[in-house]
Structure 1
Amino acid sequence: MAKSWRFLIPLIIFGALVILLVIGLGKDPRKVPSPLIGKPIPEFSLPELTDTGRTLVDDDLRGQISLVNVWASWCSSCRQEHQALMVLSENPDFQIVGLNWKDDAQDALSVLRMTGNPYDRIGYDPDNDVGIEWGVYGAPETFVVDQQGIIRYKHIGPVDRKVWEETLQPLIAQLKAEG
């Protein structure tokens, strides 16, 4: 009897792995929960990409609603969302702050020269020091930060019209009404 159980153990382990795989495949990778939702933004200080004599700090994200967009010149999805950000940059209800992530400054500046700059400010984070504090998994990612500096939402992947209309715009309207 003991020998027959020994042959079933690999089958049981295989079955358990299949169940875990099926559960994992059913999850949306864009819905990775962030432990920072509802918490103050991490303290940070970064040189600005477009003016290295200036510094972007956490206090720059207080006092108004901010979309913090993590991007890089090497990121094809970032280029995909760029036009949507250009359109959003005309909206006076919030500022768009870029976090240029794990990138070469000259490559990033070249992309901005060719495609336009939707950002009010851009922090330069080539070594991922701030990205780690924000829990960045990849680019693009966009955080909504309220007027008090509290992270209210994190979107993984490109921002497009659907994301804007169904998620970001209603949240920003709510935050604006809360004042």
Structure 2
Amino acid sequence: AIIFTTAFDEYAIKAFEAHAIDYLLKPFSQERFDKAIEKWKDQQPNITRPNTEALLETAAQSPLQSDRVVVKNGSKIKIIPVADIFYLEAADEYVKIHTAEGYFLKKKTMNFFERSLPAKQFARGHRSYIVNVQEITRIEPYEKDNYVAIIKSGAQVPVSRAGYIKLREVLGL
């Protein structure tokens, strides 16, 4: 369904040949625009219109639908396979996704990632950290009642007492 808006009247015939609903010649009034929209609505009686905002909200809150995370990196879009993630770290309103290439920021919550990432592969070892258990080489005591997970890259990921129990379950210990 197309409504053309243009300053050139010579294309009107071609527009209607292309099954345009209307052809608005600039400048046009609000009343003329409203009539074109009504004409469009009249031709759409059986089409149910989804609530776009509700769909976007649902998509934003739903778990990851694949084995990758998509982040915006400057003007580029970066696709990170879940298997490439070493660990995630809370950073205010963002989550730092640590990989071999460095870290990338995603405006989501730790709870979102905890629900979304594969439970057999990722565990929340601390309120501010989720670790890829396949990257862990060892877990060592660190300070009172806390631990640190050493991952293959050499990074040390803090683990709380409760997180240690959770990690042991996931690791099958």
User: Is TM (by shorter chain) over 0.5?
Assistant: no
Higher helix proportion: 1
Higher strand proportion: 2
The answer to which structure, 1 or 2, has the higher relative contact order (CA under 8 A, 6+ apart) is: 1
Larger Rg: 2
- The TM-score normalised by the length of structure 2 is 0.28
